[in-house]
Structure 1
């Protein structure tokens, strides 16, 4: 048997027997005797020929090809990650910037339906439920950039429509459509990170990207509260449209394609035109038609969610935590306006608890994810596994129920206003730990189809994030803030063993699918 140092060029250098007779290895007789002892006979070791490369296959020009996004310069990678992170910040910002002004909206449109008031805020997340099912397959077929650009433009258009909405019904429809367009960076952003950054360094880059979906919903209510006081509720949408428009222009100028499948297909198309050889095709070309590719890609997220227990379990956990976030968002005005007498602007500041907690969680998770994964890899014989990303989630799962208990009972007892805000910061820490661990895990475990895995998770958590707040106000009125929050906390406590179980047995579960269903 022979080890190959360079499988791309076909150059082989002998380790046990030498392929270069001009430079024999020292002690070759001793090595041959060892081989005889092991195999029972003397065997002549011949170099194994590398299979000839199909001249019609288009691939990267070796492992250091500068066209491969993995080989881009650090500055170029930083620019790409920063752009994606900025886009990913703006769309979640729009999900919550509107929440402090909901009472003003209901007054203007002469409605007293509280469930409808909550739905106007959460309907945006319903767009996040359905959008990924279309965005994910299209990105795998046509690349990341076209999806970013189209969705950025549509996002701005629908937010302008929200700002000009003449009725409650039109506002709900335009909010939903804005959510459909806004789901794009959340769906394919992690895939872009995977295109650029190797697995062992992915944690730091993912931490930068995760800041968007975590800080956007927190900063939104702060800005929205003061905008509503100074102007009116429509200015929340105008600000989002202005920021979204600026980001869209930056993306058109600076963003470049990162998807390897798309880049190699573009390269093959160019070479076919230059050489006149119609047989040239990308190494990733499966020979399937566009219709077949789309059909496979569009059902893949659903199949992952339904038939892959590990994807379902992690998505369920993230959905519960994400649903709690938006449920608390709808409860904050009730708590701090009614019990503590805060103005609309000051209520917006109370969301800083989530923001500070998220930043603390981000620092902890971002600083430990790569190091912990590398340490566990070294400890287990150098074999890297996606499951080495999950211990951070297990630790963070403890913070969520602690934060919920603290928020509910301090608000119930009308304790100092800072205490329920501190409670929300604990929820923020746990949410970040879960979000980051799960996102990196899905990318590491399903690199080639990471966009579909993230889409499956996004659909599930957005659905719960949209629906759970609808029951929030009724629950708090029926049970009170203390026992209402405790009910949520007890569910979160029950989820702690699930997180620990997935850390321990996640690898076995990952390789199992219900009914042995083939995901791809």
Structure 2
């Protein structure tokens, strides 16, 4: 097996010209001086050339899917207290209905991403959404704890397709200057699913029983499956990443605009240009497989990417954010539905209102605000964009999350007013949206040609790491108390997110060195 450097695929190493500075022939965002990165190809089937409404429809359906996955898996949390009584299970066993789902979603990434690279993204989403629907039915009909657990784990593995591949499709459909805003919307869907699900489940469980929440999830998953089958096209596309105009040294090369190139090809040669596929052709489940590699090679090749500093930091920072959020989700029903609060499942579930507010704010910071901030930095840098320009905004969750973590821990330990814990959860929720999104966008910007594989590691390992922490948080709290456990989590979060500081100052040099000298990329990429 032959390995190459990332530089062989993309000499920019993520440093590109984003704002016009003398590149007269580049393709621009209409009516602006923003250069489209990557440049659209001449192929009418290039996903970047899809009509905007088709892009947004596809993206909306996938956001609905990722929302539903987290709605269904995380939504059952307010009913844990009732479930533990009904099935005669301990707190730790009942919490497994969430923590094993976290593991299942993470492990699902390691299955679905190689399948998407080998077979295409569309068949993966069709199959995974079908499995998710089938096992949603099974979980709703389950009459034993073990049956319910198995069904939820399998549907979580199926739902894992939405994480790395959902973010990768943003790469397929949108340009660099759009990634932050679109990923912000994607992160809203992901994180609010975790908040809206428990909020609704609490009242449903109180009124008519927890099982009806699962039937509602099943109905929604059936609708999503039909939408994926009928409306989501294949977005896999073999793209030339290294256009001459976008060189890592910031100097402009020669580049013909896509429109000019089409005109010249048609006038000077008899080469037939690709024909736009029909609607039904776009919905084909078969788009070919790579001829120069095996599925096993595709399955193995992402793991070497973990040594890239941006990917490693992305895994740890996103994982730590998720650990804290899931830790609160696992425990709040046992805090607020027990004496002295004695809240119902519905009232304790209202903690997720604060979570939704935190998610929305975090998504705004790491979405729209991040794009505008990066564009402004590029303008001050002679039009040159560097991925590290995304990192300064991580200071916002870097301050809010540890404060919220300490608030919840102290409130739970000392049985302080419920508002302290609820507000604390709102601040914690900023982190999983903001930190996670900034981490994923930084990885995509740094390693664009291998974004799907890199995001597999970020999303897959972050869930595995989170499972390891969260699976032990109930006995940890039982042995040490809420203050010590959540105080330790706050300290770990500050340390890991703080690693963005050396990345900000030295990441450009590290990224260029690793891209040029580290031979980690399978030659078939």
Taking structure 2 as the reference length, the TM-score comes to 0.79
Within 5 Å, give how 1:189-268 maps onto structure 2. Answer: 189-261=166-238
Question: Tell me, what secondary structure is at the counterpart of 1:259?
Answer: coil
Q: What does the per-residue CA deviation read over 1:44-94, in whole Å, with 9 as the maximum and x for residues that have no partner?
A: xxxxxxxxxxxxxxxxx9845443221222222221221111111111112
Determine the structure 2 residue equivalent to 1:518: 520
C-alpha distance in 1 between matches for 2:429 and 2:99: 19
C-alpha distance in 1 between matches for 2:110 and 2:395: 29
C-alpha distance in 2 between matches for 1:148 and 1:319: 24
Determine the structure 2 residue equivalent to 1:108: 86
Q: 2:131, 2:158 within 8 Å by CA — same for their partners in 1?
A: yes
Q: 2:314, 2:443 within 8 Å by CA — same for their partners in 1?
A: no
Determine the structure 1 residue equivalent to 2:381: 380
Going from structure 1 to structure 2, the CA distance change for 1:230 and 1:316 (only over 3 Å counts) comes to same
Name stretches of at least 5 consecutive residues in structure 2 with no aligned partner. 1-21, 28-38, 240-271, 276-287
Within 5 Å, give how 1:272-291 maps onto structure 2. Answer: 287-288=291-292
Identify which range, 188-197 or 124-133, moves more after superposition. 124-133
CA positional deviation for 1:496: 4.1
Higher RCO (C-alpha under 8 Å, 6+ residues apart): 2
Determine the structure 2 residue equivalent to 1:322: 322
Tell me whether 1:80 sits opposite 2:25 in the alignment. Answer: no
CA positional deviation for 1:98: 1.4
Going from structure 1 to structure 2, the CA distance change for 1:361 and 1:133 (only over 3 Å counts) comes to same
C-alpha distance in 2 between matches for 1:181 and 1:451: 17
C-alpha distance in 2 between matches for 1:7 and 1:513: 28
Determine the structure 1 residue equivalent to 2:312: 312
Determine the structure 2 residue equivalent to 1:162: 139
Question: Tell me, what secondary structure is at the counterpart of 1:518?
Answer: strand
Q: 1:446, 1:453 within 8 Å by CA — same for their partners in 2?
A: yes
Tell me whether 1:129 sits opposite 2:97 in the alignment. Answer: no
**Structure label with greater radius of gyration:** 1
Partner residue of 1:97 out of 35, 54, 75: 75
Q: What does the per-residue CA deviation read over 1:7-60, in whole Å, with 9 as the maximum and x for residues that have no partner?
A: 99xxxxxxxxxxxxxxxxxxxxxxxxxxxxxxxxxxxxxxxxxxxxxxxxxxxx
CA positional deviation for 1:164: 2.0
Q: 1:394, 1:500 within 8 Å by CA — same for their partners in 2?
A: no
Within 5 Å, give how 1:421-500 maps onto structure 2. Answer: 421-500=422-501
Q: 1:69, 1:195 within 8 Å by CA — same for their partners in 2?
A: yes
Within 5 Å, give how 1:141-180 maps onto structure 2. Answer: 141-180=118-157
CA positional deviation for 1:246: 0.7
Within 5 Å, give how 1:312-391 maps onto structure 2. Answer: 312-338=312-338, 339-391=340-392
Identify which range, 208-217 or 223-232, moves more after superposition. 223-232
Question: Tell me, what secondary structure is at the counterpart of 1:257?
Answer: coil
Going from structure 1 to structure 2, the CA distance change for 1:96 and 1:285 (only over 3 Å counts) comes to closer
Q: 1:137, 1:294 within 8 Å by CA — same for their partners in 2?
A: yes
C-alpha distance in 2 between matches for 1:286 and 1:385: 31
Q: 1:397, 1:499 within 8 Å by CA — same for their partners in 2?
A: no
CA positional deviation for 1:244: 0.8
CA positional deviation for 1:169: 2.2
Question: Tell me, what secondary structure is at the counterpart of 1:390?
Answer: helix
Taking structure 1 as the reference length, the TM-score comes to 0.79
Q: 1:136, 1:297 within 8 Å by CA — same for their partners in 2?
A: no
CA positional deviation for 1:412: 3.2
C-alpha distance in 1 between matches for 2:448 and 2:425: 33
Q: 2:201, 2:213 within 8 Å by CA — same for their partners in 1?
A: yes
Backbone CA RMSD of aligned residues? 2.8
C-alpha distance in 1 between matches for 2:121 and 2:489: 38
Going from structure 1 to structure 2, the CA distance change for 1:350 and 1:208 (only over 3 Å counts) comes to same
C-alpha distance in 2 between matches for 1:431 and 1:353: 14
C-alpha distance in 2 between matches for 1:143 and 1:451: 12
Q: 2:80, 2:333 within 8 Å by CA — same for their partners in 1?
A: no
Determine the structure 1 residue equivalent to 2:262: none
CA positional deviation for 1:363: 2.0
CA positional deviation for 1:461: 1.4
C-alpha distance in 2 between matches for 1:4 and 1:182: 43
Q: 1:396, 1:430 within 8 Å by CA — same for their partners in 2?
A: yes
Name stretches of at least 5 consecutive residues in structure 1 with no aligned partner. 9-60, 263-267, 272-283
Identify which range, 408-417 or 445-454, moves more after superposition. 408-417
Going from structure 1 to structure 2, the CA distance change for 1:312 and 1:433 (only over 3 Å counts) comes to same
Identify which range, 371-380 or 172-181, moves more after superposition. 371-380
CA positional deviation for 1:4: 10
